[in-house]
């Protein structure tokens, strides 16, 4: 997969381009939506909250437009340093946003005050900001519930648009693209037209392994885990990757590895399958587990891990 290029050509004065941020609470469906809008799996998806930890750009280019989507961590009240770093990615994405897509779950019980306050603050800072509210997962609700939600959000935030949709089933995604293009400013592209994301191949190796950990373990294990890539060798026939999986306590290391190494072997098999699809060739994946005590609370460790 070609992730990034470097050359930008000249484009006409009618070309549109801009930054579009997906904002919402955990599990609102932002990652599923961005993957659907871009047409590639860039953000990992699980049923657990706080799966997304970074700002991940997905770039959609047409002949006369370029949309730079940003998937962001779900809005939470920070409890330790990792959470603070995650919310900084949200703030950074909002700094250069032309269109803000606020993704809200149809089942939310109006407990989104932190998200609402953030949006109102951003609208006050950026008078030219376009706000589009996306009411997601409407396949799980009846027509009256959807109408009630539309009225609620119209009164609460007075956005330019409200679009009910189902990211999982692809319902109304065309309407999202149409509205985004409507509000996108005139601009040359920010990236070459064949660029898919701003993230590196190593980043996606880490994310794919993290996804398998989130899917394969319960309770605290996914949240205390971070992945680093020690070596990455891409040859014509095979990609050789050496990784470390970091946990906070020795007991977590034992759970992650499993009896006789069976659990970590399963993670490796599942991750390698996705990595081979991603790179389009064979992958040799080696994984080691290390203990990094309280890494989620330590600034130095978090910086080393890319936060």
Q: Looking at 126, 157, 183, which one is the last position of a domain? A: 183
Residues 178 and 211 in one domain: no
Residues 217 and 299 in one domain: yes
CB atoms within 10 A of CB 238: 14
Residues 64 and 177 in one domain: yes
Per residue in 75-105, pLDDT tens? 988 888 999 999 999 999 998 899 999 999 9
Question: How far apart (Å, rounded) are the C-alpha atoms in residues 128 and 145?
Answer: 31
| CATH number of 292's domain | 3.30.300.20
Residues 228 and 166 in one domain: no
| Residue 5 resides in a domain | no
Per residue in 118-156, pLDDT tens? 999 999 898 889 999 999 999 999 999 999 999 999 999
CB-CB contact of 100 with 108 (8 Å): no
Residues 107 and 45 in one domain: yes
Per residue in 280-293, pLDDT tens? 999 999 999 999 99
Picking from 154, 157, 100, the residue whose alpha carbon sits closest to that of residue 132 is 100
| Residue 208 resides in a domain | yes
Residues 230 and 114 in one domain: no
Query: What is the residue range of 296's domain?
Result: 201-304
CB atoms within 10 A of CB 305: 19
Per residue in 99-122, pLDDT tens? 999 999 998 776 788 999 999 999
Q: Looking at 148, 183, 218, which one is the last position of a domain? A: 183
| Residue 1 resides in a domain | no
3-class SS string, the chain: CCCCCCCCCCCCCCCEEEEEEEEECCCCCHHHHHHHHHCCCCCCCCCCCCCCCCCEEEEEEECCEEEEEEECCCCCCCCCHHHHHHHHHHHHHHHCCCEEEEEEECCCCCCCHHHHHHHHHHHHHCCCCEEEEEEECHHHCCHHHHHHHHHHHHHHHCCCEEEECECCCCECHHHHHHHHHHHCCECCCCCCCCCCCCCCHHHHHHHHHHHHHHHHCCCCCHHHCEEEEEEEEECCCEEEEEEEEEECCHHHHHHHHCHHHHHHHHHHHHHHHHHHHHHCCEEEEEEEEEECCCHHHCHHHHHHCCC
Q: Looking at 121, 156, 183, which one is the last position of a domain? A: 183
| Residue 192 resides in a domain | no
Confidence of residue 64 (pLDDT cuts 50, 70, 90): very high
Q: Which residue has the tokens 């009618």?
A: 14
Q: How far is CA 276 from CA 14, 36, 58, 206, 269, in A?
A: 39, 21, 20, 14, 11
At 241, give phi and psi (nearest 5°). -130, 130
Q: Domain total for the chain? A: 2
Question: How far apart (Å, rounded) are the C-alpha atoms in residues 34 and 270?
Answer: 23
Give residues with Cβ within 8 angstroms of 62, minimum separation 6: none
| Residue 222 resides in a domain | yes
Residues 157 and 250 in one domain: no
| CATH number of 90's domain | 3.40.50.300
Residues 209 and 83 in one domain: no
Residues 76 and 105 in one domain: yes
Express as a percent the part of the chain with pLDDT over 70: 95
* CA atoms 260, 263, 264, 268: torsion sign: positive
| Residue 296 resides in a domain | yes
Task: Summarize the confidence of residues 235-259 as an average pLDDT.
Answer: 96
Residues 49 and 97 in one domain: yes
| Residue 129 resides in a domain | yes
Residues 145 and 217 in one domain: no
Residues 172 and 246 in one domain: no
| Residue 7 resides in a domain | no
Picking from 272, 273, 198, 274, the residue whose alpha carbon sits closest to that of residue 241 is 272
Phi-psi map region of 137: left, alpha, beta (phi>0 left; psi -120 to 50 alpha): left
């Amino acid at each position: 997969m070609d992730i990034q290029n470097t050359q930008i050509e000249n484009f006409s004065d009618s070309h549109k381009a801009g930054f579009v941020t997906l904002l919402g609470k955990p599990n609102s469906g932002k990652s599923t939506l961005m993957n659907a809008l871009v047409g590639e799996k860039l953000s990992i998806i699980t049923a657990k909250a706080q799966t997304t930890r970074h700002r991940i750009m997905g770039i959609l280019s047409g002949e006369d437009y370029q949309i730079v989507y940003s998937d962001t961590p779900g809005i939470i009240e920070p409890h330790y340093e990792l959470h603070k770093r995650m919310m900084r990615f949200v703030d950074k994405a909002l700094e250069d946003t032309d269109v803000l897509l606020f993704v809200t779950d149809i089942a939310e019980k109006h407990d989104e005050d932190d998200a609402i306050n953030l949006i109102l603050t951003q609208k006050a800072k950026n008078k030219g900001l376009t706000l589009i509210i996306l009411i997601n997962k409407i396949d799980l609700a009846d027509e009256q519930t959807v109408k009630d939600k539309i009225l609620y959000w119209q009164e609460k935030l007075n956005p330019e648009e409200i679009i009910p949709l189902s990211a999982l089933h692809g319902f109304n995604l065309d309407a999202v693209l149409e509205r985004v293009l409507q509000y996108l400013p005139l601009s040359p592209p920010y990236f070459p037209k064949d660029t898919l994301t701003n993230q590196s191949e190593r980043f996606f190796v880490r994310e794919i392994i993290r996804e398998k950990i989130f899917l394969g373990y319960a309770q605290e294990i996914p949240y205390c885990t971070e992945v680093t890539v020690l070596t990455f060798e891409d040859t014509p026939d095979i990609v050789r990757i050496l990784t470390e999986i970091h946990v906070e306590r020795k007991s977590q290391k034992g759970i992650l590895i499993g009896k006789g190494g069976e659990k970590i072997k399963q993670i490796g098999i599942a991750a390698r399958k996705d990595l081979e699809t991603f790179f389009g060739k064979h992958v040799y994946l080696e994984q080691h587990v290390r203990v990094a005590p309280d890494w989620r609370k330590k600034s130095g460790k978090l910086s080393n891990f890319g936060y």
